């Protein structure tokens, strides 16, 4: 008695984790294409570190949790945030720390207050700042003159002061020695011919390379296109809720559009939203880490505020911070606010209960 | 009018049992060699046994008399000899006496066309007393005796015939409505005489609503409304919401009955036949040939399963009345009762993983809750013994539909905790204590 239901929706927490990990594989594949064996090595080291951490915690807590997919996903995400060619010890230690301390020490899956992958990435950035910003150039850019040792985002932030008035982030890159692939040129030309010319707009060169991932950067975060595709997949399969990414993207895009043009001397409402969104780890953090249900609020108002906070912090960190990579820290800081936001979740629940009581209290409870 | 009528919030789609074709009319099941007739097939107290061991009983004879609060008469479903009177465990918990009747002798009713009673000349009280006499109960669990359900009610706003089946493997009501539409319409006419409803609705979960003859005594129009089979469309508040009963007063003034209950009313009043058989839907992935059978009350479920070709493989779970709100049984000798609408044998694939893992706060439970509760929050409050807080956040509105438990990827036993807590609070209220 009292043990209904007797059948369940087939999805389990584990299938959710493995499914999310599977969605990331194309983006990882692009990283491996760009950087070859060094990318494989970093990601493998990271996953091994995460699984080792999970095994240690499983041993201590006497509950075997290696196959719930959570540790694997953490390892994968940490690995994908690494620059190619980094010493494999760094991702391994970062993942081990993420799984055993940030997740395990707080009681394991479901009890951690900080996203483990972000914790691991932050750990690596703080510990090995120079290694974590030594970006290699992908093989397809090898023949082209290219900015070395910096991502497009990092380069622009470092050189924004020297920008000519009226220029944009892409101009700055070109001035700094970045060259785009012939693919970028031809795709841009085609798009302009068949699409943008009809609406009186013109897409300048460079964005196609940014979108596809022909640029230096973290090995799993290069291709905005593949990460966007993975995001659409996980949202349509309802692995994560859409409200948090929507709130982050909206806030960040609006702030960038409004104030992002100022460093270039372009005044208000002239920021380059496309460049900001497609560069750095913005997309992977927004879609794969910020909406982690364990460390985010659940009511609409809570999710909106959480997302706005992240969007605003990413903008702040990118504009004024030391490191070009503010996304991870923005989410970690907002993770701290989640307990306070969960009061809003409870208030929302109470409002619904009170409303139900007033509207139809006597209806319930049978005839 | 909305294109697809349904309730407003939450709900789930259960993806099991999508292909099913009806093969011909509903057959009578074989008569059981021995019927186990429970003396408690209704909400209230167990009926008082009025037969002795070794006594010969005729078909339809009273073997248990209504005894006290919400009790109902129980009749023998087959002719035979009382072999045993013993205490058995009930699938829904607790225990009750059962009369075991071994089949013997001849049927007086079988194959004969019975006399039709001219009920139109009967008054309200006469109709009600024949319903009471024939042991008619609401066929929806927990089986409210119909006399107690209708006795005090008059001039109600709405009489809704609830033929919606939104759980997989349930199709007895739809089959009955299709097969016996004339009889059910006459049953509705009888109920209309008793209740004088302002509006009468038949709600189905299939778009092909059977063509129904108008209510025979012309007491108002009967509307037919097809609803989406989204779960839990068949529950009271969701059904009323879907058929646009908006005001609170009208919702209170509504009575919902299953077609099988209406059919039992028809048989009791028109044919003077007690409630001794019912349509049972037999299905599940572990079953060879799913079917709807007309079975005698007291037939062991094993007999019906055998009649459906037996099992394809070992069943993982046997369930009565539905996989989301029913009860499991562990015994093929468990008998059919007045409220057993279905017998379901689930295979391992359908049961799926039962591995409980930590809650990852995905929020699906709150998305699917048709009462707009936050099951995750309520569960945490109960776990920490913050019970008054849980009550404040609407725990009392939980209808135990099980949507949250069904969807939960971590298999947190949400609805089990809510039901246990509701039972505890009801007990405390009964004892006059305030929950701490």
The pLDDT tens digits for B96-127 are 999 999 999 877 665 556 678 889 999 999 99
Residues of chain A found within 8 Å of residue B415, distances taken between Cβ atoms: 4-5
pLDDT value at A269 more than 70: yes
Using left for φ > 0, alpha for ψ between -120 and 50, and beta otherwise, residue B70 falls in: left
Question: Once rounded to an integer, what is the mean pLDDT over residues A332-357?
Answer: 86
Residues of chain A found within 8 Å of residue B323, distances taken between Cβ atoms: 4-7
Determine how β-strand B327-329 pairs with β-strand B317-320.
antiparallel
> Are the beta carbons of B355 and A298 separated by less than 8 Å?
no
Tell me what pLDDT residue B210 has.
55
Question: Once rounded to an integer, what is the mean pLDDT over residues B21-48?
Answer: 90
* Out of B326, B353, B355, closest to residue A4 by CB: B326
Last residue of a domain, one of B245, B270, B295: B270
Rounded-to-integer distance, Cα B276 and Cα B31, Å? 12
The distance of A326 to chain B (nearest Cα, Å) reads 26
Last residue of a domain, one of B210, B241, B270: B270
Judged by average pLDDT, the poorest of A32-36, B112-116, B198-202, B220-224 is: B112-116
pLDDT value at B139 more than 80: yes
Q: Are the C-beta atoms of B380 and B322 separated by less than 8 Å?
A: no
Mean pLDDT, chain A, integer: 88
Number of H helices, E strands in chain A: 15, 0
Tell me what pLDDT residue A366 has.
40
> Which tens digits make up the pLDDT trace of A186-214?
999 998 888 888 888 888 888 898 899 98
Residues of chain A found within 8 Å of residue B18, distances taken between Cβ atoms: none
Alpha helices in B97-201 (DSSP H): 124-133, 146-150, 172-179, 181-195
* Out of B248, B322, B393, closest to residue A363 by CB: B248
Tell me what pLDDT residue A63 has.
84
**How many CB atoms are closer than 10 A to CB B111?**
6
Structural domains counted in chain B: 2
Pair (B248, B379) in one structural domain: no
In a domain, B147, yes or no: yes
> Are the beta carbons of B410 and A110 separated by less than 8 Å?
yes
Tell me what pLDDT residue B353 has.
80
> Are the beta carbons of A363 and B236 separated by less than 8 Å?
yes
Alpha helices in B71-166 (DSSP H): 124-133, 146-150
**Residues β-bridged to residue A59:** none
Tell me what pLDDT residue B433 has.
57
Query: What confidence category does residue B147 fall into, taking pLDDT thresholds of 50, 70 and 90?
Result: very high
Alpha helices in B335-413 (DSSP H): 348-351, 364-368, 375-383, 387-392, 403-407
Rounded-to-integer distance, Cα B184 and Cα B176, Å? 9
Query: What confidence category does residue B3 fall into, taking pLDDT thresholds of 50, 70 and 90?
Result: low
Residues of chain A found within 8 Å of residue B256, distances taken between Cβ atoms: 367
Rounded-to-integer distance, Cα A124 and Cα A90, Å? 7
Pair (B245, B377) in one structural domain: no
> Are the beta carbons of B355 and A357 separated by less than 8 Å?
no
Question: Once rounded to an integer, what is the mean pLDDT over residues A143-162?
Answer: 74
Range of the domain at B377: 364-430
> Are the beta carbons of B324 and A350 separated by less than 8 Å?
no
Q: Which residues of A touch B (CB under 8 A)?
A: 1-16, 68, 108-111, 238, 241, 293-294, 296, 298, 345-346, 348-350, 352-353, 356-357, 359-360, 362-364, 366-367
Q: Testing the interface with B: which of A7, A8, A243 to mutate, by most B Cβ within 10 A?
A: A7
> Which tens digits make up the pLDDT trace of B376-413?
999 999 999 999 889 889 898 899 999 999 999 999 99
In a domain, B246, yes or no: yes
In a domain, B403, yes or no: yes
Q: What are phi and psi of B87, to 5 degrees?
A: -90, 125
Pull the structure tokens for residue B274.
Answer: 């007690």
Judged by average pLDDT, the poorest of A32-41, A42-51, B419-428 is: B419-428
Tell me what pLDDT residue A215 has.
87
B95 interfaces chain A, CB cutoff of 8 Å: no
> Which tens digits make up the pLDDT trace of B281-313?
999 999 998 999 999 999 999 999 999 999 998
Residues 359-378 of B with CB under 8 A from A: 359-364, 366, 371-374, 376-377
Pair (B257, B373) in one structural domain: no
pLDDT value at B1 more than 50: no
Residue with tokens 């060879």: B288
Q: Are the C-beta atoms of B205 and B4 separated by less than 8 Å?
A: no
Query: What confidence category does residue A354 fall into, taking pLDDT thresholds of 50, 70 and 90?
Result: confident
Rounded-to-integer distance, Cα A15 and Cα B357, Å? 12
In a domain, B195, yes or no: yes
> Which tens digits make up the pLDDT trace of A241-264?
999 999 999 999 999 999 988 887
The DSSP letter of residue A101 is I
Residue with tokens 């319930």: A364
> Are the beta carbons of A2 and B419 separated by less than 8 Å?
yes
Residues of chain B found within 8 Å of residue A4, distances taken between Cβ atoms: 319, 322-328, 402, 405, 415-416
In a domain, B108, yes or no: no
Question: Once rounded to an integer, what is the mean pLDDT over residues A134-143?
Answer: 83
| Total CB pairs under 8 A between chain A and B | 160
Residues of chain A found within 8 Å of residue B319, distances taken between Cβ atoms: 4, 6
B261: part of which helix (H) or strand (E)? helix B259-270
> Which tens digits make up the pLDDT trace of B53-83?
999 999 999 999 999 999 999 999 999 999 9
In a domain, B280, yes or no: no
Question: Once rounded to an integer, what is the mean pLDDT over residues B242-252?
Answer: 76
**How many CB atoms are closer than 10 A to CB B384?**
10
* Out of B14, B237, B415, closest to residue A4 by CB: B415
Last residue of a domain, one of B270, B296, B331: B270
Query: What confidence category does residue A216 fall into, taking pLDDT thresholds of 50, 70 and 90?
Result: confident
Tell me what pLDDT residue A359 has.
62
Query: What CATH number is given to the structural domain containing B153?
Result: 3.40.50.11540
Judged by average pLDDT, the poorest of B32-46, B199-213, B234-248 is: B199-213
In a domain, B29, yes or no: no
In a domain, B66, yes or no: no
Determine how β-strand B158-163 pairs with β-strand B199-204.
parallel
Burial of A188 (0-12, 13-18, 19+ CB in 10 A): buried
Query: What confidence category does residue A365 fall into, taking pLDDT thresholds of 50, 70 and 90?
Result: very low
> Are the beta carbons of B324 and A298 separated by less than 8 Å?
no
Query: What confidence category does residue B209 fall into, taking pLDDT thresholds of 50, 70 and 90?
Result: low
Pair (B146, B257) in one structural domain: yes
pLDDT value at A367 more than 50: no
Tell me what pLDDT residue A353 has.
78
Rounded to two decimals, the ipTM of the complex is: 0.87
pTM attached to this predicted model:
0.90
Tell me what pLDDT residue B94 has.
87
Mean pLDDT, chain B, integer: 89
Q: Which residue of B has its CA nearest to A2?
A: B416
Question: Once rounded to an integer, what is the mean pLDDT over residues A129-141?
Answer: 87
> Are the beta carbons of B373 and A352 separated by less than 8 Å?
yes
Pull the structure tokens for residue A99.
Answer: 């799984």
Q: Are the C-beta atoms of B227 and B244 separated by less than 8 Å?
A: no
> Which tens digits make up the pLDDT trace of A283-324?
999 999 999 999 999 889 999 999 999 999 999 998 887 766
Pair (B249, B129) in one structural domain: yes
The proportion of chain B whose per-residue pLDDT surpasses 70, expressed as a percent, equals 91
Rounded-to-integer distance, Cα A3 and Cα B279, Å? 25
């Amino acid at each position: 008695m009292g043990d209904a239901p007797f059948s369940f929706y087939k999805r389990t927490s584990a299938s959710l984790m493995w499914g999310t990990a599977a969605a990331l594989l194309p983006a990882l594949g692009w990283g491996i294409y760009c950087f070859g064996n060094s990318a494989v090595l970093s990601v493998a080291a990271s996953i091994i570190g995460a699984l080792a951490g999970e095994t240690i915690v499983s041993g201590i807590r006497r509950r075997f949790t290696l196959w719930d997919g959570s540790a694997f996903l953490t390892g994968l995400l940490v690995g994908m945030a690494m620059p190619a060619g980094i010493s494999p010890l760094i991702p391994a230690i970062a993942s081990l720390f993420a799984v055993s301390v940030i997740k395990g020490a707080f009681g394991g899956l479901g009890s951690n207050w900080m996203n483990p992958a972000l914790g691991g990435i932050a750990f690596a950035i703080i510990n090995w700042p120079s290694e974590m910003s030594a970006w290699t150039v992908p093989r397809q850019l090898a023949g082209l003159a290219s900015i070395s040792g910096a991502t497009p985002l990092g380069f622009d932030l470092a050189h924004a002061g020297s920008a000519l008035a009226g220029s944009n982030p892409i101009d700055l890159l070109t001035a700094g020695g970045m060259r785009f692939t012939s693919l970028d040129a031809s795709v841009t030309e085609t798009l302009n011919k068949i699409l943008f010319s009809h609406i009186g707009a013109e897409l300048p060169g460079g964005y196609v390379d940014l979108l596809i991932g022909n640029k230096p950067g973290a090995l799993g975060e290069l291709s905005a296109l593949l990460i966007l595709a993975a995001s659409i997949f996980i949202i349509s399969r309802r692995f994560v809720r859409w409200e948090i990414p929507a709130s982050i993207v909206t806030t960040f895009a609006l702030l960038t559009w409004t104030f992002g043009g100022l460093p270039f001397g372009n005044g208000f409402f002239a920021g380059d939203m496309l460049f900001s969104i497609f560069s750095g780890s913005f997309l992977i953090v927004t879609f794969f880490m910020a909406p982690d249900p364990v460390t985010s609020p659940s009511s609409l108002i809570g999710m909106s505020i959480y997302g706005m906070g992240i969007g605003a912090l990413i903008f702040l960190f990118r504009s004024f911070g030391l490191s070009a990579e503010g996304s991870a820290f923005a989410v970690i800081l907002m993770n701290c606010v989640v307990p306070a936001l969960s009061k809003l979740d409870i208030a929302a629940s109470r409002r619904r209960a009170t409303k139900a009581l007033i509207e139809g209290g006597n209806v319930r409870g049978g005839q | 009018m909305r294109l697809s009528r349904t309730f407003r919030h939450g709900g789930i789609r259960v993806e099991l049992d999508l292909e099913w074709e009806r093969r011909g009319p509903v057959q009578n099941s074989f008569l059981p060699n021995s019927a186990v007739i429970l003396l408690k097939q209704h909400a209230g107290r167990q009926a008082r046994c009025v037969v002795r061991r070794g006594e010969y009983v005729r078909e339809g004879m009273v073997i248990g008399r209504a005894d006290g609060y919400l009790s109902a008469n129980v009749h023998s479903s087959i002719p035979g000899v009382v072999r045993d009177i013993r205490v058995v465990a009930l699938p829904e918990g607790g225990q009750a006496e059962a009369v075991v009747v071994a089949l013997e002798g001849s049927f007086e009713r079988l194959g004969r066309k019975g006399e039709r009673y001219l009920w139109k000349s009967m008054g309200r009280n006469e109709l009600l007393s024949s319903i009471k006499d024939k042991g008619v109960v609401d066929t929806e669990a927990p089986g409210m005796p119909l006399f107690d359900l209708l006795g005090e009610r008059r001039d109600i706003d709405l009489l809704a015939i609830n033929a919606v089946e939104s759980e997989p493997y349930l199709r007895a009501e739809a089959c009955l409505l299709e097969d016996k539409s004339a009889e059910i319409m006459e049953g509705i006419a009888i109920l209309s005489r008793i209740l004088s409803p302002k509006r009468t609705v038949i709600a189905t979960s299939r778009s092909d609503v059977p063509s129904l003859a108008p209510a025979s005594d012309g007491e108002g129009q009967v509307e037919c409304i097809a609803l989406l089979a989204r779960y839990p469309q068949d529950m009271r508040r969701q059904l009323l919401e879907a058929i646009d009963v908006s005001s609170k007063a009208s919702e209170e003034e509504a009575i919902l009955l299953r077609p099988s209950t209406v059919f039992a009313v028809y048989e009791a009043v028109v044919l003077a036949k007690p409630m001794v058989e019912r349509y049972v839907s037999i299905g599940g992935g572990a079953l060879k040939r799913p079917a709807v059978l007309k079975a005698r009350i007291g037939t062991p479920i094993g007999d019906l399963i055998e009649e459906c070709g037996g099992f394809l493989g070992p069943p993982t779970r046997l369930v009565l009345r539905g996989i989301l709100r029913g009860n499991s049984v562990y015994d093929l000798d468990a008998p059919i009762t007045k409220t057993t609408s279905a017998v379901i044998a689930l295979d391992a694939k359908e049961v799926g993983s039962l591995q409980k893992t930590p809650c990852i706060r995905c929020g699906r439970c709150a998305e699917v809750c048709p009462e707009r509760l936050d099951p995750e929050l309520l569960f945490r409050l109960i776990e920490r013994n913050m019970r008054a807080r849980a009550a404040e956040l609407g725990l009392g509105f939980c209808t135990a539909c099980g949507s949250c438990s069904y969807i939960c990827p971590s298999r947190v036993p949400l609805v089990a905790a809510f039901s246990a807590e509701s039972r505890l609070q009801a007990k405390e209220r009964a004892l006059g204590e305030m929950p701490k």
